[in-house]
Amino acid sequence: MLNIPLKDYFRETRIFNNRVIIVAVIIAVLSLLLVVRLVWLQIFSHRHYETLSQANRIRPIPIPPPRGLILDRNGVVLAQNYPVYTLEVVPEQVDDMNTLLEQLGELVQLTETDLKSFRKQLKERPRFEALTLRANLTDEEAARVAVKRPYLYGVEVQARLQRHYPLGGLGVHAIGYVGRISEADLERLDKAAYRGMRHVGRLGLEATYEKELLGRVGFEKMETNAHGRALRALERVAPVAGKNLQLHLDAKLQAVAEHALGKRRGAVVAIEPATGAVLAFVSTPTYDPNPFVNGIDPDTYRGLLDDPDKPLINRAINGQYAPGSTIKAFMGLAALETDKIDVTKPVACGGAYNLPGSSHQFRDWKKGGHGAVTLRDAIAQSCDVYFYKLAVAMQIDAMKTFLAPFGFGKRTGIDLPAESEGILPSPAWKEARGLKWLPGETVITGIGQGPILVTPTQLASAMSALANHGTRLRPTMVRALADPATGHSRELKAPAYPALPLKDKSHLGTVIEYLTDVAHSPRGTAYGIGHNAPYRIAGKTGTAQVKGIAQGAKYSEHATPERFRDHALFISFAPVENPQVAVAVIVENGGHGSSAAAPIARKVMDYVILAKNLPVATPAATENTE
Amino acid sequence: MLERLHLDRNLFYALALLAFLSLVVVYSASARDNAVALGHIGRLALGFAILVVVAQVRPENLERWSPYVFGAALIVLALVLVIGTSAKGAARWLNLGFVRFQPSELMKLALPMMLAWFFARDGLPPRYTRLGIAFLLIAVPTALIIKQPDLGTALLVLGTGFLLMFLAGMSWRIIVPIGLLLAAAAPIAWGFMHDYQRNRVLTLFDPEADPLGTGYHTIQSMIAVGSGGIYGKGWLNSSQAHLEYLPESSTDFIFAVFSEEFGLLGSLLLVGLYIFIIVRGMMIAFLAQSTYNRLLAGGLSLSFFLHVFVNMGMVTGILPIVGIPLPILSYGGTSIVTLMAAFGILMSIQTHRKIVEY
């Protein structure tokens, strides 16, 4: 049976037995420690713990702190707490739950959802804890229960604070919402810090700044009778309210931008270049966050999920679009910086470009071409051929190296959760996915098509770098955290990213001059919004193709179904001399950047620069919030 | 009769007494809930049935199956991360339709089997390369369990693995540096811990600091034990459990209820009973005739001790609170099944010895 040599067998036995003896000693020591501890607790400290046990009529009851408010830059309340009556039941005090629920059903309206959620809590929570049966009782319902309460053992009507978003869907993608704490949350959260609390930040700023908004739970030591029922409060440690978030966001500007987008799908991000402050952060369609607070009913939620316009998607940070011609604002600077082409010489644009030795035609948006164009003309008129040639001269790796410092292909670091990265492609990036980089992809990357993808926030942030002398600050929603008790507030400063590595800083001024032509030269693609502006705008239009157009075929807006129409983009900053705002606008399937996106940016810039006090849009007044 | 069934008399009677005490205290802790008591009887019965079945399997067969059992346990452990259903947030359970089971419990058996098999392939003490492989065999399931996340069970699996390596004769030249390394790594681990995990450790030193949060459980548990005194408050008289001051009174904190009701005399009897079982297990290991049998018997007995000590340490406030039930005494499903299977293995090793060799 033993197929190992006898000598080894004895050696092994010796080793094993030695180890067993050591282990036995350790077990003996630890057991002794345990026995000593038991003797200490049960004999020497018995008196002490006996007293504590007798006095254990005192139960700490948590008092949840009020959650911090969210305010816009002018103090307009975006998220607040308001008292509601909730109907609560303590299961251990109830003799017959079904009868009780029937009785309560006659006093207040209980939906199937209420009952389902209650039964779920019944299974998960301790039996001595008060469980919410219904929130938002009307005064009448609260009164009806209060009258019958002496006969309803275990039922309580409590005034609790509930999160409310007074402006409804306005800025919902920035603010986010809170939701009921779930089982999964409990595993992740510090249970002690959330004692007595029912909600936690789920999305947007409510999630990012959860720690600051939360506050600290207080407690009240309640004396109880022998059955554990509360008799009177002995000691109270007050809760500490959460910090208020003061945003850079301007609710009026937000309303202006949302209104300007109207029923279309799209996004607007406005940033103050010198500070990184996010002044407006729009993604449309919006939706009302209030139903999410106490658990949205499945039908409404399905409706939002199945809506073809996908309102739940945060297009401003998660919408990833081809930048189209807006990339030329940055490629224009690249043309000045690189020694691969001579910007002093005009380039012939015949309406199409061929790679050497290929018959594939890369077309210009303008049939017949722009003739001989300088860089200045190429930017103002958005000539594609110029930039095809620039891209081929530079090659993709140099383009990537140049564009990366603008923040493309990386999260901007805005203080919102789950931002998308976009894609700044390169041959290495494609090879990592098992694909080969095609020469044609270099060509179309020059005009912002192909694999390159950006988010609206990235575009606005990149534009702010041009406006702010080459230094980009991290986009930041929150200006300060204010302590409501002391009134003391702590300012949050946005950190700066490394400055653009430019060989010649004067190139920045040059490209801004060319971008100003876009809006102010009669041949500029955004002349429509620039010619009557009382300040000077630097901008770039863009039209991003959604559907490929066959060689030789012609794109016609009217003949194309809406979902396949081009996305319209516009990026800009103004005033050119002293930039106050950088804006990125995208209108999904909106057609041309000049006609669909630029006017929206103009409205945003007008508001910021001219302080046009447009009427405050209440949720009912804006079309999208409902 | 017991011998014919390949059962070890000493171990069997000790386990039966423990099961009886378990019923007594679970009934009290659940506030005389008949349904809970009946469920508990059912689980204990199932546990003993499994014990009897496992005891019939010859250790040679167990040895042969060890790698497959380990492989299967690893697969279900990985599976639970993908399709596990969660109880209280963590994905620890695998729903088989008719029964839900916890793969990390299976690993508590499979890992000692695998390591014992692995070390028995070669002479003791194990060479460095083999120790390296053994370390991997421990690290993979530990990592999977941490991911669930179930830190308590992961630490127990890790501890069991190291104890087995120790029994196998791992050189002190490795044990000492690893010990020092662990001591040095503690501050780093601290950095990786969740806030709630840190709080559990901190409250150990000063339970009064957070009377509402983590410290609350420790304080209430110590009140229960301390107020029991020498003779205890008597059966069904645990005010700490009945007034719901004690959390998880039927599972993790059952020892507090037991100590409150039966006092120091009761708790010493219980500790003594556990020590008796562990000593008997170590004796079986001592008497076993093959390397595999020895290592497995020793490893399973030590793992049992580790469970008991961690739970009792937590209840009496000398260890931080980790969600580990007290073996056999606590109310709970899968853990009784694996425990009884482990004792079945011990009995099989003891009763299948060859009295005469050659």
Tens of pLDDT, residue by residue over A267-290, are 999 999 999 999 999 999 999 999
Query: In chain A, which residue's Cα lies nearest the Cα of B244?
Result: A128
Record: contact B86-A183, CB cut-off 8 A: yes
Domain A59-76+169-247: give its CATH code.
3.90.1310.10
The pLDDT confidence band at residue A581, using thresholds 50, 70 and 90, is very high
Residue A238's pLDDT is 86
> Is residue B180 in some structural domain?
no
Query: Is the Cβ–Cβ distance between B311 and B258 less than 8 Å?
Result: no
The pLDDT confidence band at residue A400, using thresholds 50, 70 and 90, is very high
Compute the nearest-CA separation of A192 from chain B (Å): 4
Lowest mean pLDDT among A326-330, A349-353, A517-521, B30-34: B30-34
B143 pLDDT more than 50: yes
> Is residue B181 in some structural domain?
no
More confident residue, A123 or A317: A317
Record: contact A42-B228, CB cut-off 8 A: yes
A297 pLDDT more than 90: no
Record: contact B243-A228, CB cut-off 8 A: yes
Query: Is the Cβ–Cβ distance between A577 and A538 less than 8 Å?
Result: no
State the amino acid at position A30 in one-letter form. Answer: L
Compute the nearest-CA separation of B271 from chain A (Å): 8
Record: contact A190-B199, CB cut-off 8 A: yes
> Is residue B198 in some structural domain?
no
Record: contact B166-A53, CB cut-off 8 A: no
Measured over the CA atoms of residue A191, residue A197, residue A198 and residue A202, the dihedral's sign is negative
Q: Which residue has the tokens 């509930």?
A: A162
Lowest mean pLDDT among A53-57, A364-368, A520-524, B147-151: A53-57
Distance CA A289, CA A202 (A): 11
Residue B118's pLDDT is 93
Share of chain A above pLDDT 90, in %: 49
Q: Specify the number of domains making up chain B.
A: 1
Q: Give A416-425 pLDDT, tens digit per residue.
A: 998 999 999 9
**Partner residue opposite A128 with nearest CB, options B195, B196, B244:** B244
Lowest mean pLDDT among A20-29, A40-49, A181-190, B173-182: A181-190
Query: Is the Cβ–Cβ distance between A408 and A429 less than 8 Å?
Result: no
Q: Give B41-88 pLDDT, tens digit per residue.
A: 988 999 999 999 999 999 999 999 999 999 999 998 888 877 755 444
Average confidence (pLDDT) over B343-355: 89
A227 chain-B contacts, CB cut-off 8 A? 243
The pLDDT confidence band at residue A30, using thresholds 50, 70 and 90, is very high
Average confidence (pLDDT) over B306-317: 92
B226 chain-A contacts, CB cut-off 8 A? 41-42, 45-46, 48-50, 52-53
Average confidence (pLDDT) over A172-192: 82
A37 chain-B contacts, CB cut-off 8 A? 316-318
Distance CA A303, CA A507 (A): 51
> Is residue B260 in some structural domain?
yes
Distance CA A312, CA B156 (A): 44
Please tell me whether residue A137 adopts helix, strand or coil conformation: strand
> Is residue B110 in some structural domain?
yes
Can A489 be counted among the known catalytic residues? Answer: no
The pLDDT confidence band at residue B179, using thresholds 50, 70 and 90, is confident
> Is residue B193 in some structural domain?
no
**A158 CB neighbour count, 10 Å cutoff:** 15
Residue B153's pLDDT is 84
**B325 CB neighbour count, 10 Å cutoff:** 22
Q: What does the CA dihedral B240, B243, B249, B254 come to, rounded to 10 degrees?
A: 30
Record: contact A191-B212, CB cut-off 8 A: no
Domain A251-477+501-610: give its CATH code.
3.40.710.10
> Beta strands of B19-164 (E only): which ranges?
85-87, 90-95, 100-101
Compute the nearest-CA separation of A125 from chain B (Å): 10
Residue A164's pLDDT is 92
**Partner residue opposite A186 with nearest CB, options B89, B222, B282:** B89
Residue B196's pLDDT is 65
Q: Which two three-digit tokens encode residue A329?
A: 């604002």
Q: Give A205-254 pLDDT, tens digit per residue.
A: 999 999 999 998 888 877 665 555 566 777 788 889 999 999 999 999 99
Compute the nearest-CA separation of A234 from chain B (Å): 15
A626 pLDDT more than 50: no
On whether any CB of chain A is under 8 Å from the CB of B269, the answer is no
Domain limits of chain A? 59-76+169-247, 79-166, 251-477+501-610
B142 pLDDT more than 70: yes
Query: Is the Cβ–Cβ distance between A316 and A282 less than 8 Å?
Result: yes
**Partner residue opposite B263 with nearest CB, options A11, A42, A192:** A42
Closest CA to B315 of B262, B357, B254, B272: B254
Average confidence (pLDDT) over B337-344: 91
B194 chain-A contacts, CB cut-off 8 A? 188, 190
Lowest mean pLDDT among A325-329, A452-456, B222-226: B222-226
On whether any CB of chain A is under 8 Å from the CB of B234, the answer is no
Q: Give B1-23 pLDDT, tens digit per residue.
A: 777 888 899 999 999 999 999 99
Domains A79-166 and A251-477+501-610 share a fold: no
Residue A188's pLDDT is 74
B187 pLDDT more than 80: no
Average confidence (pLDDT) over A296-311: 87
Specify the DSSP class assigned to residue B92.
E
Q: What does the CA dihedral B17, B22, B24, B28 come to, rounded to 10 degrees?
A: 170
**Partner residue opposite B124 with nearest CB, options A2, A16, A46:** A16
Query: Is the Cβ–Cβ distance between A131 and A125 less than 8 Å?
Result: yes
Please state, rounded to an integer, the average pLDDT across all residues of chain A.
Answer: 86
Query: Is the Cβ–Cβ distance between A119 and A133 less than 8 Å?
Result: no
Measured over the CA atoms of residue B108, residue B112, residue B115 and residue B118, the dihedral's sign is negative
Chain B residues 126-165 with CB within 8 Å of chain A: 149, 163
> Is residue B187 in some structural domain?
no
Closest CA to A172 of A299, A304, A322, A298: A304
**A523 CB neighbour count, 10 Å cutoff:** 11
B287 pLDDT more than 70: yes
More confident residue, A1 or B271: B271
Record: contact B243-A227, CB cut-off 8 A: yes
The pLDDT confidence band at residue B93, using thresholds 50, 70 and 90, is low
Share of chain B above pLDDT 70, in %: 85
A612 pLDDT more than 80: no
Distance CA A296, CA A308 (A): 19
Closest CA to B225 of B309, B315, B311: B315
Residue A452 CB-half CA count within 13 A: 28
Average confidence (pLDDT) over A600-611: 91
> Beta strands of A342-466 (E only): which ranges?
347-349, 352-354, 361-363, 371-373
State the amino acid at position B233 in one-letter form. Answer: K
Q: Which of A325, A382, A594, A595 is catalytic?
A: A325
Q: Give A62-118 pLDDT, tens digit per residue.
A: 888 899 999 999 999 999 998 888 888 888 777 788 888 888 888 888 888 888 888
The angle subtended at Cα B304 by Cα B302 and Cα B307, nearest 5°, is 110
Distance CA A485, CA A466 (A): 41
> Is residue B3 in some structural domain?
no
Residue B335's pLDDT is 77
A441 pLDDT more than 60: yes
What pTM was computed for the model? Answer: 0.63
Domain span including residue B240: 9-171+207-351
**A79-166: CATH, from 3.40.50.300, 3.90.1310.10, 3.40.830.10, 2.40.100.10:** 3.90.1310.10
Residue B94's pLDDT is 64
Residue B355's pLDDT is 65
Compute the nearest-CA separation of A31 from chain B (Å): 8
C-alpha distances (whole Å) from B263 to each of A2, A528, A611, B229 are 50, 89, 78, 5
Q: Which residue has the tokens 């548990």?
A: B221
Q: What is the 3-state secondary structure (H, E, C) of A433-459?
A: CCCCCCHHHHHHHCCCCCCCEECHHHH
Record: contact A16-B318, CB cut-off 8 A: no
